[in-house]
A = this chain, B = another copy of it.
Amino acid sequence: MRPELAPVAGVRLAATAAGIRAAGRDDLTVLELAPGSRTAAVFTTNRLRAAPVLVAEEHLAAAAPRLLVINTGSANAATGAAGMETARAVCAAAAEGFGLAPEQVLPFSTGVIGEPLRLEPFAAGLPRCRDGLAADAAAWWRAADAIRTTDTRPKAASRTVELDGEPVHVTGFAKGSGMIHPNMATMLAFVATDAAVADGPLRDLLREAADGSFNRISVDGDTSTNDALTLTATGAAGAAPLESAADPRLPALREAVAAVCRDLALAIVRDGEGATRLLTVRVEGAADAAEAARVADSVARSPLVKTALFAGDPNWGRILAAAGTALTGEVDWGRVDLHLGATRVVRGGVVAPDYTEAAGEAAMAPEEVTATLSLGRGEAADWMWTCDLTHEYVTINAEYRS
C-alpha cells in the first residue's frame, strides 16, 4: 500500500520518457528547488565513481543546487573523459533551459556501467520536464517511479512535524534493488523538507539519517559507482531557520528526516532483487562498535544465511558461523545467545535446552524476522537489514543486460 505523500513547499518535479532507456518509459526526472534552498549530499564510497558523482560534488562545492537532473538507463560510470564531458553537458543544457548557472545543477545517473550516456535525449526531454513541473503528491510519485531500474515498485515516504506550531514536511523517494550494501549502494535517494535549515545542521541531519537507514541495508554486498543521497531544505514553509545544533526544534525534524530515510531504506531492502523476506540482524554485547558492525555485516551478507532465510529454515549454525568469520582473538562461545524473533535458539553457544525445531520454524515463518545475537563480550551493539537470496535474484542478475 502506498503511503500518503506530503508535497514539500519549494519543490517541483517532473519526469518524462526521453528515450534514454526503453521507449515509452519515464527515464528523465528533474527536481526544481526554490531559491534559497540548501542541499546536503552523500555519495558512494566505491572508488570507481561515476562521472555524475564527480560533477555533482564539484557543483555542490561551488553553488547551492537549484535543479537535480536524474536519468536511468545508463550509469555514465567507467566512461572516462567523455563521460565527464557528457555529465557537464547535461548540466549546461539543463541550466540553459531552466535559467540557471551550470553549477546550480546536480546530475545523477543510474543504469548499466560502462555504456556511454547519449546527450540527445536530454535536448528533447529537459524542455518537456520544464513545462511539466508540478508540486503535488502525484508528481512525487511519478518521479519515484521514473528513477526505478530493477525496482519492482516506487519507493517514497513522508512525515509531517510541527515546528513552532507550524507544520513542516519531509518527503523523499529512492531507487535501489541490487548492488546494495552500506555506504551507499546502486541507490539514489532524494529527500526534501520545507523547513529552513543552515548548512551545518543540514549536513548533520543527513549523516545521522543515512547512518540509521541506507548504511544499514545489504542486498548483495556490492556497492555501486553512482550512489547518492540528497537532503534539501527549501525553507518555504516559512518557519524561522534552524541555524544551530542547539535549536530546540531540531530533534523533531531530525526524527522526521530519519524516519523518512528509514522508510526508504527498508523499502529498498524489502524490494531487494528477488527478495521475499526481510531479516533484521541485531548484534548485542560486542567488545566494541567496530566488532558489532563487523559481525552484523558478516551475518547480513552471508549467502548461506540469506538462502536459509529464503527457505524459512532456522539454520542458526550458519548465523553463528558467519559471526565467527568476523570475530578475532579468543571467543568464549559459552556466553553467546541467539534469538530468532522471541524464540531463544542458542544459549551459551549451543542449542537452547527448551528449543524445538518446530519453534524455530514458527519463528522463521513471518515475512520479517529479527535475529538477535548476544556475544557477551562487552556493551557495543549494531544492526543491519538484509533480504533473502532467491532464485529470482539469480534470474534478474543473470539476465539484466539481455
CB–CB A394/B397 < 8 A = no
Inter-chain CA distance A23–B223, complex, in Å, is: 45
CB–CB A324/B394 < 8 A = no
Q: Knowing A350-B79, A389-B394 touch, does A325 contact B46 (C-beta < 8 A)?
A: yes
Whether A40 is near chain B, meaning CB under 8 Å from some CB there, is no
Inter-chain CA distance A225–B316, complex, in Å, is: 13
Q: Which of A277-333 contact B (CB under 8 A)?
A: 301-304, 307-308, 310-311, 313, 315-318, 320-325, 327-329, 331, 333
**Chain B CB within 10 Å, residue with most, of A78, A327, A346:** A78
Inter-chain CA distance A25–B75, complex, in Å, is: 52
Per a CB cutoff under 8 Å, which of B113, B220, B317, B402 touches A113? B317
Residue of B nearest to A334 (CB): B80
CB–CB A114/B325 < 8 A = no
Per a CB cutoff under 8 Å, which of B113, B220, B318, B349 touches A303? B220
Q: Which of A64-81 contact B (CB under 8 A)?
A: 75, 77-80
Residue of B nearest to A323 (CB): B48
What size tier do the contact residues of chain A reach?
35 or more
Closest-CB distance, A116 to chain B (whole angstroms): 8
Inter-chain CA distance A402–B318, complex, in Å, is: 15
Residue of B nearest to A398 (CB): B311
**Chain B CB within 10 Å, residue with most, of A179, A310, A398:** A398
The interface bits of chain A over 375-402 (1 if a CB of B lies within 8 angstroms of the residue's CB, else 0) are: 0000000000000011101110111111
Residue of B nearest to A327 (CB): B47
Per a CB cutoff under 8 Å, which of B224, B304, B350 touches A222? B304
| Sample of 29 A–B contacts (CB below 8 Å) | A46-B324, A46-B325, A47-B328, A48-B321, A48-B327, A48-B333, A77-B317, A78-B320, A78-B321, A80-B349, A82-B350, A113-B318, A113-B320, A115-B317, A179-B304, A222-B302, A222-B321, A223-B325, A224-B321, A225-B317, A303-B389, A303-B397, A307-B398, A308-B398, A311-B399, A311-B402, A313-B402, A389-B394, A391-B391
Interface residues of A (CB under 8 A from B): 46-49, 75, 77-80, 82-83, 112-115, 178-179, 181, 220-225, 301-304, 307-308, 310-311, 313, 315-318, 320-325, 327-329, 331, 333-334, 346, 348-351, 389-391, 393-395, 397-402
